[in-house]
């Protein structure tokens, strides 16, 4: 949910579109304590602890995701669990250590930290490097434990297989969608005029 940052716009639009299709969607997202949890028709956003500067998402938001998910699964039956990149580190670890669940786990890869590392490693600071080590670890474990891996492009699919040795049978490419209520194509004339 707004305000936009990182993967938030795509995740929000995906969740909202699913809710509009009649699916009941529960989203675990950061932002607490500044932003509150809320519910709309078929969409429930549960705010968890925001990332703390220099500590990062993996030591604040990520553990909260695991505990919230475990609490929710005692009350609700889920058709699937859908995680994004490195954020569900502790869920990845719990599955790796043998936590059995009947609902399939779908890992959505928008980019790979290993690919970013290869392109930028010498240029990033100490805290970013430290955080990226944990991000790569989470993505590698996530690729091992996921039932399916959605990559947003062929290049991300290639990186997922090259860096994380993901089973090619469970990796598929689904490009990012667009909310056509927000982004309306104006046709070829507008494209030519804008060049």
What is the end-to-end Cα distance of the chain in Å, rounded? Answer: 33
Tell how strand 43-49 and strand 38-40 pair up: antiparallel
Contacts of 128 (CB under 8 A, 6+ apart): none
Q: Residue 189 — very low, low, confident or very high, per pLDDT cuts 50/70/90? A: low
- Looking at residue 125, which CATH number applies to its domain? 3.40.50.2000
What average pLDDT score do residues 165-192 get?
78
The angle at the Cα of 32, spanning 31 to 37, to the nearest 5 degrees, equals: 90
Three-state DSSP class for 26? strand
Number of other residues whose CB lies within 10 A of the CB of residue 166? 23
What's the domain count of the chain? Answer: 1
Predicted local confidence at residue 33, as pLDDT: 86
Higher pLDDT, 157 or 121: 157
140 falls within a domain: yes
Q: Which two three-digit tokens encode residue 111?
A: 């980019």
16 falls within a domain: no
| Structural domain boundaries, residue 86 | 78-174
What average pLDDT score do residues 109-116 get?
92
51 falls within a domain: no
Predicted local confidence at residue 6, as pLDDT: 62
25 falls within a domain: no
């Amino acid at each position: 949910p707004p305000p936009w940052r990182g993967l938030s716009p795509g995740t929000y639009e995906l969740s909202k579109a699913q809710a509009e299709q009649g699916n009941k969607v529960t989203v675990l997202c950061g932002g607490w304590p500044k932003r509150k949890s809320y519910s709309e028709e078929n969409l429930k956003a549960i705010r968890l602890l925001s990332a703390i500067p220099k500590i990062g998402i993996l030591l604040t938001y990520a553990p909260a995701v695991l505990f919230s998910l475990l609490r929710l699964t005692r009350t609700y039956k889920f058709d699937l669990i859908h995680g994004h990149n490195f954020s569900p580190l502790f869920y990845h670890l719990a599955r790796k250590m043998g936590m059995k669940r009947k609902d399939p786990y779908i890992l959505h890869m928008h980019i790979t930290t290993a690919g970013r590392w290869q392109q930028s490693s010498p240029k990033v600071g100490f805290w970013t490097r430290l955080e990226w080590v944990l991000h790569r670890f989470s993505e590698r474990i996530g690729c091992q434990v996921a039932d399916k891996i959605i990559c947003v492009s062929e290049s991300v699919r290639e990186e997922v297989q090259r860096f994380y040795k993901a089973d090619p049978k469970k990796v598929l490419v689904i490009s990012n969608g667009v909310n056509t209520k927000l982004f309306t194509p104006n046709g070829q004339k507008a494209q030519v005029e804008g060049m």
